[in-house]
Structure 1
């Protein structure tokens, strides 16, 4: 591989303009494909086959028009007074117009709904009064009948009139039975009305109203055009004296790909590059190539949105990774090239060697990250696998850009990649620092203890990890979604933001007449069972199937959709069987769907972590030919992973430092973040282990004592790991200040994870543990050593073949005085 990359680098350098033209053509082609074929990005997530999805499919079959998504429009009067009659009529007109939008199944007028509720309550009162009057008449008739029977018996005429008296008694008894049936029916109605009292469409003070929009498609399949058309009806010509807001079940907030925060992150990365490379061209080249790569990768990924359902956060992930690794991978090659130029190597030869050594490490590191991201498809979760694939595209493009476009640009830059001072002193890159100073065993033990203790403490909040999907409260306070969520919470209760749809199987009957006669009692029985559960604010029946074997209810939880109480309530319902031998309840709704997605992701995480850990052990075994190194390196990754999760929980779930990053409402951690973090952080951790550990191995293989090899390898790789980590932290950190909580939490998790893994694990813990192990760190059974392939990651053999001084003396890589303190790919030829 190293020889192939050497030749590729030389070829790209000789044909620099052609290579640049090809990349620009690819970028233009990707932009064209994007314009022609890109589709809509999705704000919601779905996993087929979940309990919620199964209930939705059943509802679609049993209830035409049911099972689709829903949206909520919130109207409020500006002065806090009740809606006037004119305002009610104007809102009703807009509701009727919205009902006619293509893709809308129905739109519910809140005032008509409340009027129906009032009429129902009035009819119940009238029915009770009528039953009371009828009972009075029956009682009077009974008294007259009893009196007549006594008189007939006293006169000895009972035998003659008894038949007629019995007939009258039968009529009275039948009337009493009918009144009892009617009374029981009224009691059921009154009970249902009482249980549904908390489900209101107009607030008690009359200044807030909720318009419910029912869509024909499921929540994640509703076209944005349909959503926009509905919102335009209410927002374009607002009702005078009112405000209108839209909940996040109808209003989508697609995050911006580029914002000021990301630009600031790039500026910080540029500063790091300037400090390290000391030239404007040197600092600008990695950023330029990263932008080309990320532009191509992002446009390519977004073009797929016309073919597959793609979440809005998917291209953002590719942008994050593409920028970070694109800059780093270019930096590795540029830095190696600069060092070789300072040692007197010719430009063309140096470009080829840099591509064959540093570029070889880039390919290996990129392949590691790519495999980890593609491994997300093993979870069986479609949208997560697609996110991994989009990230893998970004990584693959970054690697290709690094080994082709970077050599081409380096060729055009020529000697200007060095500063004027460096050009005036050719071959002067060797002297500098004193030799490496090995740490004592006591210092190593202390550093290891401090690192493990610090990571353990930081990881403690992860024990309280609670995952979920962000709701309207997580949106920025100035957005319509946040205003709608707040208005609903204040006027109708937090549970109104996440109502549940409960499907209950009913016994039916041997025939339709019996089933219909018993349906009311069965419906009331189920409603009562639901209402009596802890955490339920209200229950309202919605409909029953034609054969009376399935009833559906709306259940309003006491707390919001992301509350643990709501999660417990969903599980409680799914374990209930209100009517014996009919089956357990089914639960659907947006809140239920998010709960199912979170739990599916959580169940997939252990399997994915096991795959990642196993992959880590195999990769490190191949690279370092040691049993100890893969184990400690993998344990270090596990520590940094859980510590990063602990930081995410502390900030985004507990609310620590929320004011600094603009987090107004803490909540559960983004449900797919733990899995995504595992894949990405694993790949980056392997990169850092590669640049720190290979120098140690090469020094040891070439005769250095174990503790000296640790010091030499650490000194060789620390500068590149420091720069690479700072650049990644800068790029990822820029996303922390995104207004979208999903993007912000992803940026924080990656930035914090890189910070911990690079500076605590790779540069503090690993060297200490390697020093403590001594020679045992490099032990490998002979039988295993024989069967393992020789993976020359850093291209040492290539250096031996090609890197010669101009005078034919010993290769520059073997020069004993050479300073490798800032070498991006540690060389074993010291």
Structure 2
């Protein structure tokens, strides 16, 4: 990974004009596609397979008049008057007539119509006109909504003074979220933090530009994707919020590493390449974890949530791509302007050294000239004191953190989920005014009536049947009214409108829905009716229930994933467990604070929470998915530096301090930026997004400053050396993910090995490799130049194949150093495998010449032919020798392996031989010396 990213970074700098041009063209194309293809967003939420959705689908066919979307107009007579007053009645009758003529309107109830009667309040001062539309929420056009608003306004004007009319109901229960200037405050805070962290306005601007370009590209793709299917209106806002946060953070990690390396004297190109390789590897890991967690939202089996997760994951993926390609190109354009200026102390020291070396001989002066002053890498005193404080008594620190997280998480037990309705809108919104007036004059339940429906095709008296069932339901506790119980025109389906006493999102309404469903068998046995509960309110309850049921499986997937990924990264058992426990702390604290604000009203007014109560149903699962990736992000950047210092010879305790000093500043800046971006979406944000944004802000704050910077160092200090323990069998099984760039560091250190400008096809030093039988070859030091040849033989106990497969990149080394085709093993094993062809003579039935010729068509750098002792036929050996000679003429290096007699007849005379048989009197050192002294060359 780090090697590929290193090459990518160097290429992006050298081809920076091309990279920028490609991204500009890409932005123009996706922007044009969005403008041409986008079909708009919708607010409809449905879950296939639930009782409410299936019943709604059946009603669409059997009773379309009540299956579509609906709206409400509440008319309130003047104080002291009633709706029967002549002036009020004339206005309402005319208004009902005009509303009924609006396109897509199926029917409008009227308080003066016996067949389609509208609800009237007990004091007869208010009436609730129900507008039934032809189509679901997604199919109702903006023109229809505007026409309904216009006619309602006309109705309000025609009413006597003191009367009022307002439009609301299901159709207007949610609105599309919009970006405001408040969200821009988060970007300003991010800019300030970046300037303070990076010390340069140019450097600070690059992460912001990186994030904005990534978000712009992803938004273009998202709106273009609306041509393929409906996308929920909350999806773009969630993607923007997440894209801005991770885009700035990912770029910050790369830019800060680049400036740190420039400060040590690296050239711009080399520094960009190394920053892309090291910090970029961690960015890839962090981005992948976020994307996997977001795509994992599909575990819930809810289409709109799956689309939301995929859209957000695509945004993160594009942000990662921008960070690894466009950002290095921009760093190349910035050039020397990002190099930190040396401190006064460093400049004075350099000047003093130059003065001390002054001489009359200009040549001597030139040779003695000191290197340019570079900034001093001094530990930050604040973070040094921090880490020492939290690790001084680690057991006490751990106990305090657990107690604090438990207290902060406790309110989460009261967290309730529901789909928001018009009651959470701004108080001056027409739909909110309608909602409040309905609650005042009719009761909360009229804002979310239930529909109970079932087939009555076997009934001989459908009217009486529906009346009997309606009366029985009306007697249930929690039912305020049953205004309608009727069959459809064909008398095969009946509906009962049930008005609960509680509001649409109340616990009482949820209990009523469950009670009616619990009486399913009773109504089936008593009346022969297979009843189902549906309607907007019931759909919302089913959505919440299904999301709640999916929360535990999703949590198990996320927790399991974090354990596996972190074990791969840190090669430890304790570190992943500690990290996962810390993640759960962060999630619990986020849920607890959200419950405090939205359920208990703590700071609700300050945060512009328009009504306390349940939060949107998908908040927990979305928050867990996003926070998982961000938590792993901080874990990797903080703990990887500690592991790097420990692996390079430091003590476990000392590595905590040095690693913390090296990464805490950047992690702090990244967390502050994340918090600022998320908090900016809270005050005037959409009520669907508000609890998610608040939860993420709290989760990031707790995860960065409490879990990763307090709990993690304390646990590592408590465990000491045991923190980095990894069973050997598990280490062999799990693949390695090099986020610290150790592989790249090793490659760079071996760039001039075995000697500057060497063109060896194969070079090894003290190489050791174990065969399947457990026998070990080595240590072996050997060099085979390009186009050269080497005979490798061994006895029955020597794993000749193991050596050949090792230098071919197909078997892991157990020790030593090896390069094949100029590529370091095992770091570049995949690239080596593409450049080395391997032919097993035994597998070819002792006739390998054809396979060799086939392999040479791919123009390998090295050809390995193993088990040549199985080629017993003289003609076959002659044919093979001819093919090998052709390979060498084409510059291909040839390695021939055999057990027993060396294949001297297959290679040119004088080809050196490597005997990997230890022999009865031959030690490993003897074997190494013998091979080295042969000086295997062309």
- Structure 2 vs 1, CA of residues 203 and 489 (structure 1 numbering), >3 Å: closer, same or farther? same
What is the DSSP-based 3-state SS (H/G/I as helix, E as strand, rest coil) of the residue aligned with 1:737? coil
Whose helix fraction is larger, Structure 1's or Structure 2's? 1
- Is residue 524 of structure 1 aligned with residue 467 of structure 2? yes
SS of equivalent to 1:501: strand
Change in CA separation of 1:421 and 1:429 when aligned onto 2, cut-off 3 Å: closer
8 A Cα contact 2:177 2:686, kept in partner: no
3-state DSSP class of the match of 1:41? coil
Q: 780, 783, 789: which one pairs with 2:729? A: 783
Measured at CA, do residues 490 and 238 of structure 1 come closer, stay the same or move farther in structure 2, by a change above 3 Å?
Answer: closer
1:742/1:733 CA distance change after superposition, 3 Å: same
Residue 696 of structure 1: aligned partner = 642
Give, in whole Å, the separation in 2 of the partners of 1:297 and 1:457: 39
Structure-1 separation of matches of 2:611 and 2:261: 52
Does residue 764 (structure 1) correspond to residue 685 (structure 2)? The answer is: no
Distance between the aligned counterparts of 1:229 and 1:799, measured in 2?
Answer: 68
Match of 2:807 in 1: none
Displacement of 1:220 after TM fit? Answer: 4.6
Structure 1 residue aligned with 2:128: 210
From 119, 127, 143, the equivalent of 1:201 is 119
Q: Is the contact between residue 453 and residue 496 of structure 2 (CA under 8 Å) also seen in structure 1? A: yes
* Aligned-pair CA distance for 1:385: 0.7
Counterparts of 1:267 and 1:737 in 2: how far apart (Å)?
16
Q: Which residue of 1 aligns with 2:508?
A: 565
Contact 1:476–1:739 (Cα < 8 Å) also in 2:
no
| Counterpart mapping for 1:275-286 below 5 A | 275-286=196-207
Paired residues in the alignment total: 716
1:544 maps to 487
Q: Does 1:228 align with 2:146?
A: yes
Whole-angstrom CA distance in 2 between matches of 1:720 and 1:622: 24
Secondary structure of the 1:214 match is strand
- Who is 2:180 aligned against? 259
Name 1:152's counterpart in structure 2. Answer: none
Higher relative contact order, structure no. (Cα contacts within 8 Å, ≥ 6 residues apart): 1
Comparing 612-621 and 227-236, the one that deviates more:
227-236
Q: Deviations over 1:603-638 (max 9, x none)?
A: 111111111111111100100111111111111111
Contact 1:508–1:547, Cα closer than 8 Å, also in 2: no
CA distance in 2, matches of 1:66, 1:454: 52
Aligned residues of 1:342 and 1:422 also touching (Cα < 8 A): no
Alpha-carbon distance between aligned partners in 2 of 1:537 and 1:671, rounded to the nearest angstrom: 26
- CA drift at 1:79: 6.3
Distance, in Å, in 2 between the alignment partners of 1:804 and 1:778 is 27
SS at match of 2:393: helix
Relative to structure 2, which stretch is displaced further, 540-549 or 288-297? 540-549
Q: Deviations over 1:754-774 (max 9, x none)?
A: 111111111111111111111
CA 1:232–1:48: 2 relative to 1, 3 Å: farther
1:301 aligns with 2:219: no
Residue in 2 aligned with 1:320?
A: 241
Task: Output the TM-score relative to the length of structure 2.
Answer: 0.73
Aligned counterpart for 2:538 among listed residues 592, 613, 616:
592
CA distance in 2: counterparts of 1:407 and 1:116, whole angstroms: 68
Question: Are the structure 2 counterparts of residues 563 and 315 from structure 1 closer, same or farther at C-alpha, using a change threshold of 3 Å?
Answer: same
Cα distance per residue 1:167-205 (max 9 Å; x no partner): xxxxxxxxxxxxxxxxxxxxxxxxxxxxxxxxx633344
Larger mean CA deviation between 12-21 and 87-96 belongs to 87-96
More strand per residue: 1 or 2?
Answer: 2
1:491 corresponds to: 441
Pick aligned residue for 2:310 from 380, 383, 389? 389
Q: 1:326 to 1:64 in 2, by over 3 A?
A: closer
For 2:598, the equivalent position in structure 1 comes to: 652
Moved more, 743-752 or 214-223: 214-223
Change in 2 beyond 3 A, CA 1:665/1:306: same
Aligned 8 A contact 1:384 1:672 in 2 = yes
Report what 1:57 is aligned to.
Answer: 57
Distance 1:553 1:440 in 2: 63
Match of 1:417 in 2: 338
Give the 5 Å matches for 1:360-379: 360-379=281-300
- How far the C-alpha of 1:302 sits from its partner, in A, is 2.1
Structure 1 segment 33-52 matched on structure 2, within 5 A: 33-52=33-52
C-alpha displacement of 1:72: 1.0
- Corresponding position of 1:311: 232
Of the structure 1 ranges 567-576 and 75-84, higher mean CA displacement relative to structure 2 is found in 75-84
How far residue 492 of structure 1 moved from its aligned partner, in angstroms, is 0.9
CA deviations 1:343-366 (Å, max 9, x no partner) are 111111111111111112111111
Deviation by residue 1:97-139 (Cα, 9 ceiling, x = unmatched): 33233322212223435x987xxxxxxxxxxxxxxxxxxxxxx
- The reply on whether 1:404 has 2:325 as its aligned counterpart is yes
**For residues 221 and 173 of structure 2, what CA distance do their matches in structure 1 show?**
23
CA distance in 1, matches of 2:319, 2:144: 38
Offset at residue 389 of structure 1 (A): 0.8
* Structure-2 residue corresponding to 1:92: 93
- Aligned in 2, Cα 1:432/1:554: closer, same or farther, shift over 3 Å? closer
Tell me what 2:209 maps to.
288
- Per-residue deviation at 1:275? 0.9
Q: Paired residue for 1:26?
A: 26
CA distance in 2, matches of 1:607, 1:677: 15
Structure 1: gaps spanning 5 or more residues: 118-199, 510-514, 806-830
Distance 1:646 1:403 in 2: 37
Residue of structure 2 in register with 1:171 after alignment: none
CA contact (8 A) 2:390 2:397 kept: no
Q: 1:150-229 alignment to 2 at 5 Å?
A: 201-229=119-147
Q: CA deviation at 1:418?
A: 4.1
Closer/same/farther in 2, CA of residues 260 and 803 from structure 1, 3 Å limit:
farther
Q: Distance in 1 between matches of 2:736 and 2:446?
A: 62
* Alpha-carbon offset, residue 549 of structure 1: 5.8
Q: 1:706 deviation in Å?
A: 1.7
Q: 2:425 corresponds to which residue?
A: 475
* In 1, Cα distance between equivalents of 2:186 and 2:518: 49
Q: Out of 464-473 and 589-598, give the one that drifted further.
A: 464-473
Distance 1:409 1:467, change over 3 A: same
Cα gap change, 1:432 to 1:611, in 2 (>3 Å)? closer
Provide closer, same or farther for how the CA distance between residues 431 and 733 of structure 1 changes in structure 2, counting only shifts above 3 A: same
Contact 1:645–1:749 (8 Å) recurs in 2: yes
Q: Would the alpha carbon gap of residues 239 and 695 (structure 1) be closer, same or farther in structure 2, given more than 3 Å must change?
A: same
2:406 counterpart residue number: 456
Q: Could you tell me how far 1:263 is from its partner in structure 2?
A: 0.6
- SS of corresponding position for 2:496: strand
Is the CA contact 1:111–1:201 (under 8 Å) kept in the aligned structure 2?
A: no
1:575 is the counterpart of 2:522:
no
CA distance in 1, matches of 2:39, 2:169: 21
Partner of 2:260: 339
TM-score, with normalisation over the residues of structure 1? Answer: 0.82
Query: Judging changes above 3 Å, is the alpha-carbon distance between structure 1 residues 37 and 237 closer, same or farther for their aligned structure 2 residues?
Result: farther
- Contact in 2 for aligned 1:575/1:585 (Cα 8 Å): no
Shift of 1:489: 0.6
Equivalent residue, structure 1, for 2:853: none
Q: 1:73 to 1:520 in 2, by over 3 A?
A: closer
Aligned to 1:109: 110
Note if contact 1:474-1:482 (Cα within 8 Å) is conserved in structure 2. yes
**In the TM superposition, what is the alpha-carbon distance from 1:493 to its structure 2 partner?**
0.8
Moved more, 676-685 or 12-21: 12-21
Give the drift of 1:716: 2.0
Compute the displacement of 1:562 (Å). 0.5
- 2:888 alignment counterpart: none
Structure 2 portions without partners, runs of 5+? 348-371, 752-938
Structure 1 equivalent of residue 71 of structure 2 = 71
**Within 2, Cα distance between the matches of 1:6 and 1:236?**
68
Q: Which residue of 1 aligns with 2:589?
A: 643
- Native 8 Å contact 1:529 1:578 kept in 2: no
**SS of 2:66 mapped into structure 1:** coil
Q: 1:261 to 1:78 in 2, by over 3 A?
A: farther
